[in-house]
């Protein structure tokens, strides 16, 4: 992992930079992430908010999860790209979606979560720790 990573949306209106290593990184295969991404999973990386700067106008979507938590996802207000999770200035951490990285090679998944929802056509890397739901 590099000391700093950058990324953003398709059109460049939303940008972020994060310093240090992510606290976690992996694939979420839950049905909410499938619907939000239009794919079989979302590749994610989590950083403390204090390690990130995020700029640009977003459309925020809040969704109550089955376990009672709230997912907050942010898409670019211009192009609609799904970029990050959490509320800037409110939340203590943010989840960025690895497909938005400027250098996608810095994404190193360490876990797959919610694999009970994984479609059969999603192939996860061999040896990756997997959890049927959220890890404890």
Residues 66, 58: Cα–Cα separation, whole Å = 25
pLDDT of residue 70: 85
Burial class (CB in 10 A: 0-12, 13-18, 19+), 32: middle
State the pLDDT confidence band at 66, using cuts at 50, 70 and 90.
Answer: confident
Mean pLDDT (whole number) for 94-98: 97
Does the pLDDT at position 49 exceed 80? yes
pLDDT of residue 1: 46
pLDDT in tens, 11-31: 999 999 999 999 999 999 998
- Transcribe 7-54 into DSSP letters: EE-SSSSSEEEEES--SEEEEE--HHHHHHHTSS-EEEEEEEGGGEEE
Average pLDDT, the chain: 94
Which residue bears the tokens 């909410």?
Answer: 32
Number of H helices, E strands in the chain: 1, 10
3-state secondary structure of 61: strand
Say how many CA atoms lie within 13 Å of 66 toward its Cβ.
7
Of 31-35, 64-68, 69-73, the one with minimum mean pLDDT is 64-68
């Amino acid at each position: 992992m590099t000391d700093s990573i950058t990324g953003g949306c398709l059109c460049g209106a939303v940008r972020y930079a994060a310093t240090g290593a992510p606290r976690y990184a992996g694939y979420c295969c839950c049905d909410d992430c499938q619907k939000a991404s239009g794919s079989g999973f979302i590749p994610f990386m989590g950083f403390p908010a204090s390690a990130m700067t995020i700029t640009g106008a977003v459309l925020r979507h809040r969704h109550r999860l089955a376990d009672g938590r709230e997912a907050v996802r942010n898409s670019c207000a211009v192009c609609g790209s799904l970029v990050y999770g959490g509320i800037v200035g409110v939340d203590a951490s943010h989840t960025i979606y690895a497909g938005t990285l400027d250098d996608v090679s810095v994404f190193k998944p360490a876990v797959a979560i919610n694999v009970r929802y994984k479609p059969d056509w999603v192939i996860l890397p061999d040896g990756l720790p997997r959890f049927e739901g959220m890890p404890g």
